[in-house]
Amino acid sequence: MIRNLTCCIVAAALLGMPAFGNAALLVFTDRTLWRAASGGGVGNLQQDFDSYTADVEYGASPVTAGFLTLSVVGGPFDSSWLIDAIPATFSTVPDVNGTTFATTLIQKPAYGGTQLSFAPVFAFGFDYAGATYSTVDLTLTTNLGDSVTIARMPDGNAFFGLVYSGGETFSSLTWSLPGPGEFAAGIDNVEAYSEAAAPVPEPASALLTSAGLIAMWARRRRLPRNARSR
């Protein structure tokens, strides 16, 4: 019976081990659930838009705010791509909560798209307020090549978060569109979880350790009493 139990625990441990190369990219629209899936608590990486008291454009050259670097890729740009200090410069690209924020845009085929770059993370999230003139949903692509859709928000704010659940990390998000159109949004309250902050998943190791202890206990029970007392 003990042998059968040990075999079951070892099998469960092996089944619980991650399959490398098959990690899922999870999408969240609720910050609380996103944080829970990322290990709980506030992300250890935070933006720093509020350190800018005047508008700074990031089209001509990248601009850094906290752990984020903002730039434009894939085409030309104008003065719309910026860290926007309050009061907002463009009423059509709204702020999220009345503090300094970043405008993010892509207009295909006329202009390029925003790119956010950062040190490797496994989870990334932000609040956004959509522009009223956005015509299509956005495609966000990680540097690992995974693409997800973020809905345009003509009115109101929303949250968007990503988590690589299998231990992979990514270091950029690029704004793009599947076809002609325009997407614009103000983003704020950006946070992320770096690789160093990732919880260490050890269910397999714990189960294998338990299996070893059970096996040792079973063997010890089969020893003569005088051998167990040594």
Q: Residue 12: its pLDDT value, please?
A: 32
pLDDT in tens, 50-79: 999 999 999 999 999 999 999 999 999 999
Q: Residue 216: which pLDDT band, with cuts at 50, 70 and 90? A: very low
Q: Residue 175: its pLDDT value, please?
A: 98
Q: Residue 193: its pLDDT value, please?
A: 98
Judge contact between 37 and 198, C-beta under 8 A.
no
Q: Residue 40: its pLDDT value, please?
A: 87
- To the nearest whole percent, how much of the chain has pLDDT over 70? 75
Backbone phi and psi for residue 105, each to the nearest 5 degrees, phi listed first: -150, 160
Distance CA 211, CA 203 (A): 12
Q: What is the dihedral of CA 219, 220, 224, 227, to 10 degrees?
A: 130
Q: Residue 222: its pLDDT value, please?
A: 54
Backbone phi and psi for residue 12, each to the nearest 5 degrees, phi listed first: -60, -40
Distance CA 33, CA 220 (A): 46
Mean pLDDT throughout 191-209? 60
Residue 133 has pLDDT above 50, yes or no: yes
Query: What is the CATH class of 23-194?
Result: mainly beta
Residue 15: other Cβ atoms inside 10 A: 9
Q: Residue 197: which pLDDT band, with cuts at 50, 70 and 90? A: low
pLDDT in tens, 78-115: 999 999 999 999 888 999 999 999 999 999 999 999 99
Domain ranges of the chain: 23-194
Q: Residue 4: its pLDDT value, please?
A: 44
- Going by the DSSP 8-state scheme, the letter that residue 196 receives in this structure is G
Q: What is the pTM of this model?
A: 0.77
| Tally of CA atoms within 13 A in the half-sphere of 4 that contains its CB | 1
Q: How many residues does the chain have?
A: 230
pLDDT in tens, 11-26: 333 233 333 333 589 9
